[in-house]
Amino acid sequence: MKKTILTLFLTGLIFSCSNDSLETVENNQTPEKLYAVGSKYALNANNVQTKLATVWVNGEATILSNNGTSSAVGISIIEDNVYVVGNESLDGANQKIKVWKNNNEQEITNGLSYAEAKDIFVNQNNVYVVGNENVGQLNRSIATIWKNGIATRLTNNETTSKANAIYVFGNDIYVAGEKMDSFGKYQGVVWKNEVEITLENNHTEFNTFIKDIVVDNNIVYVCGYSTNGSKSIAKIWKNGIPINLSNENDFIIANAISIHNSDVYVAGSEFDISIYANKESRVWKNGNVIESSKIEHSGFNSIHVTSDGIYISGFASNINVNYAIWKGIGNSNPFTQEYTYNNDEINAITVK
């Protein structure tokens, strides 16, 4: 596969800035719906208590599968059609990938090898799923994109790689993830139309892991982190150029990114390596931490910003539930819990 190094030059400021507060919703707008996907702890078809793939709409749950154990990991909404991707495991069988369109399921992989979905994007009636599948004689994890169920490998079968996020902009398909180099280190990678682009790294001695991608006004934003196991630096890449969100003396990661009115929002978390626990989560806006977004003993994993507010999901160990969704407005107002999920797990959110 052709390999190129992204060397786009930046012009102007690293971040675009706008008013500190979000716009208010106009009175004549249709009320937004908050969608969350993950897993609900419930009885499956065999009367076993386990995790089951679930979608929530404004807090109301619909279980998508009651076979074996399953979890929903990504969501994409086009007009009135809701597409959810997830993973399902049956006793003694390999994990397989499924897509649910308006709660009706379709198998993407057949279970002959282990597969893991990570994200979904629907564009012009094409359903794109990205993730990893163990293939080849060495049974390595290989970054893969499925277009309408047809698999394309993004690296050869001898290179360990992972595809974690996808974004379609115009006719271009961007996939973000990482691959292992010849020295055993993970490099951040973007595949544009299946052509591999290695992200510049200012910490070459660290492993780099990419978590999310979005394209806005022809600018490609990627977020993730570089780590050596004892410290971690949260980063974004703007057209391939790394921008540190934290310093290398802490252990902080960036998990998700959202663009609104050209402002760049990133959700991430700080980890206390001494006790192996989440210390504090936060949101950055244009590279600066929104102080009111800091929530102790939590771990943010998804973000969606609209004119109505900043929506975040994640793990919440400081409350008597497993996961929660928070909402914030502007830079000074405290983030408040919109929904809490006892014994359930939220992997991704979107607002439509």
Name all contacts of 245-251 with Cβ < 8 Å and 24+ positions apart.
245/284, 245/287, 246/270, 248/203, 251/227
For residues 97-125, average pLDDT:
97
> What average pLDDT does the segment 136-152 reach?
93
69 forms beta bridges with 89
**Does residue 12 have a pLDDT over 50?**
no
Q: How confident is the model at residue 190 (pLDDT cuts 50, 70, 90)?
A: very high
Strands 298-306 and 3-5, by their bridges, are unpaired
pLDDT digits (tens, 9 = 90+) for 201-239: 877 789 999 999 999 999 999 999 999 999 999 999 999
Residue 320's pLDDT band (cuts 50, 70, 90): low
Cα separation, 212 vs 279, whole angstroms: 22
Please state which of the ranges 53-57, 223-227, 234-238, 342-346 shows the lowest mean pLDDT. Answer: 342-346
Which residues contact residue 348 at a Cβ distance below 8 angstroms, ignoring those fewer than 6 apart? 36, 37, 38, 72, 73, 74, 75, 301, 302, 313
The vertex-156 CA angle with 155 and 159, nearest 5°, equals 80
At 274, is the pLDDT very low, low, confident or very high (cuts 50, 70, 90)?
confident
- Answer yes or no: is pLDDT of 116 > 70: yes
Q: Give, in order, the Cα–Cα distances in Å from 8 to each of 237, 238, 242, 339.
A: 11, 9, 12, 41
Decide which of 3.40.50.300, 3.40.50.1820, 2.90.10.10, 2.120.10.10 is the CATH code for 199-352.
Answer: 2.120.10.10
Domain boundaries, the chain: 35-169, 199-352
Beta bridge partners of 29: none
Say what the pTM is.
0.90
Beta bridge partners of 161: 179
